[in-house]
């Protein structure tokens, strides 16, 4: 497999390099609550600036409907990027308009500008090839070369991710290189024992991952909201817990395949069940197959794996040489239902081998629960992109960079 890297672009001093980052960070009242993706962009930007490139950063934030919305402005992100880089970062109040043209035109060697949110322009996410290409052409007017470093969007066929890279010499940044190196180890050459931990809300979000990884793993641990569909597939009554009834037959198929392949597919033995979806709700620990036998009866809601399961999962994780985790074990945002996720995260910090946190809610959880990124082997910046890669799908934002 090949991938064009920054070295393929040749000398960059004095050249305008447009860098597609993924700076889609959570904001609350204009304050960044998790700057992980901004920090992940720093190594590539630093390398380009040190080479004397004139760096133009582009990114999206949130889901604006193709028009400017103040709450989705990248201006606070540009300020944070300047703090992390330790140098001035110019901010343009539009993406391909007069201000962007002026700010890019004024850049000197080793200077950097951030353009306003790509998704303020309908062409960025358009399904119409001509509209998308027209927007990419306007972005390309600012570029002598393009570096794609937004791993979280490489599964999207969007103007800044796919079309722009076809218009100018393009290469992958250091973040994409690192992500692919880790994912290649997970899929093609994992050190064993190899354990995958899956959680999150829905089984349907993880079907492709389960199918692709079952032939490759030794142990598969199932938690989060998706565990209740697995438990129901084995005949348990799950009360009012999250259940995808239309996936029961599919799940039974996975259970049978795991058994046939000798993969240990482990379901929770106990669960934390609550009377309502609230941090103040009454809650109890019960056996995973006895949820409706709690005082809440059929209205009981399973909101976390139980302590026995947490201890079992943690022990299996610590005994592994390769661990990939995607999806919280419970509703970690509510303190009474965060213990399972915290136990899994802590166990990953103790793995004598490669531990990978699969982006999205999992990355948010470890930071919210007080862990440092450096405690893990790798924290992915791309939840959806990581999952699609692990499903074996072709990702347009990688194929355009030469990845086959």
Q: How confident is the model over 353-370, as pLDDT tens digits?
A: 999 998 778 888 999 999
Give pTM, 2 decimals: 0.90
Flag whether 255 is marked binding: no
Higher pLDDT, 404 or 100: 100
Flag whether 24 is marked binding: yes
Compute the distance between CA of residue 274 and CA of residue 280 in angstroms, rounded to an integer.
9
Flag whether 398 is marked binding: no
With a CB cutoff of 8 Å and minimum separation 6, the contacts of 262 are none
Compute the distance between CA of residue 21 and CA of residue 121 in angstroms, rounded to an integer.
17
Instruction: Give the pair of three-digit tokens for residue 392.
Output: 């074996």
Peptide bond into 234 cis (omega under 30): no
pLDDT band at residue 1 under the 50/70/90 scheme:
low
Flag whether 333 is marked binding: yes
Asked if 230 and 203 touch (Cβ cutoff 8 Å), the reply is yes
Query: Across the strands, what pairs with 195?
Result: 219, 323
Compute the distance between CA of residue 57 and CA of residue 44 in angstroms, rounded to an integer.
11
Residue that is written with structure tokens 């994912």 in the block:
183
State pLDDT tens for residues 162-212.
Answer: 999 999 999 999 999 999 999 989 988 899 999 999 999 888 888 889 999
| Residues with active-site annotation | 37, 202, 360, 384
State pLDDT tens for residues 365-393.
Answer: 999 999 999 999 999 888 788 888 988 89
Angle at 340 between CA 337 and CA 346, to 5 degrees: 130
Flag whether 63 is marked binding: yes
pLDDT for position 202: 86
Flag whether 361 is marked binding: yes
End-to-end CA distance of the chain: 6
* Sign of the alpha-carbon dihedral angle for 130, 133, 135, 138: negative
Compute the distance between CA of residue 25 and CA of residue 31 in angstroms, rounded to an integer.
10
pLDDT for position 361: 84
Residue 193 CA, chain-centre distance (Å), reads 24
Flag whether 168 is marked binding: no
């Amino acid at each position: 497999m090949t991938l064009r890297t920054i070295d393929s672009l040749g000398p960059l001093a004095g050249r305008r390099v447009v860098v597609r980052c993924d700076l889609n960070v959570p904001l609350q009242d204009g304050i960044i609550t998790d700057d992980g993706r901004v920090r992940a962009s720093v190594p590539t930007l630093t390398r380009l600036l040190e080479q004397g490139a004139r760096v133009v950063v582009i990114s999206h934030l949130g889901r604006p409907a193709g028009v400017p919305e103040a709450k989705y402005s990248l201006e606070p992100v540009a300020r944070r990027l300047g703090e992390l880089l330790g140098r001035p970062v110019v901010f343009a109040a539009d993406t391909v308009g007069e201000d962007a043209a002026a700010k890019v035109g004024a850049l000197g060697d080793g200077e950097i500008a951030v353009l306003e949110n790509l998704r303020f322009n309908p062409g960025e996410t358009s399904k119409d090839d001509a509209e998308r290409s027209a927007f990419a052409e306007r972005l390309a007017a600012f570029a002598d070369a393009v570096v794609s470093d937004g791993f979280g969007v490489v599964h999207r066929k969007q103007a800044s991710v796919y079309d722009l890279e076809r218009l100018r010499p393009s290469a992958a940044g250091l973040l994409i290189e690192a992500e692919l190196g880790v994912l290649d180890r997970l899929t093609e050459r994992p050190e064993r024992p190899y354990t995958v931990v899956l959680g999150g809300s829905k089984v349907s979000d993880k079907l492709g991952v389960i199918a692709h990884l079952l032939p490759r793993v030794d142990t598969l641990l199932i938690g989060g909201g998706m565990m209740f569909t697995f438990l129901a597939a084995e005949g348990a009554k799950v009360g009012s817990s999250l259940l995808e009834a239309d996936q029961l037959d599919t799940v039974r198929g996975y259970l049978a395949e795991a058994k046939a392949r000798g993969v240990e597919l482990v379901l929770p033995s106990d669960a934390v069940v609550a009377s309502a979806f609230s941090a103040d709700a009454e809650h109890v620990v019960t056996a995973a197959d006895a949820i409706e036998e709690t005082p809440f009866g059929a209205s009981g809601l399973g909101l976390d794996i139980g302590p026995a399961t947490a201890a079992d999962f943690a022990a299996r994780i610590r005994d592994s040489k390769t661990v990939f985790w995607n999806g919280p074990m419970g509703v970690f945002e509510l303190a009474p239902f965060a213990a399972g996720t915290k136990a899994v995260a802590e166990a990953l910090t103790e793995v004598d081998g490669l531990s990978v946190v699969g982006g999205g809610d999992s990355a948010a959880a470890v930071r919210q629960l007080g862990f440092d990124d450096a405690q893990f082997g790798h924290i992915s910046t791309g939840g959806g992109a990581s999952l699609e890669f692990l499903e074996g799908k072709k990702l347009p934002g990688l194929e355009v960079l030469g990845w086959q």
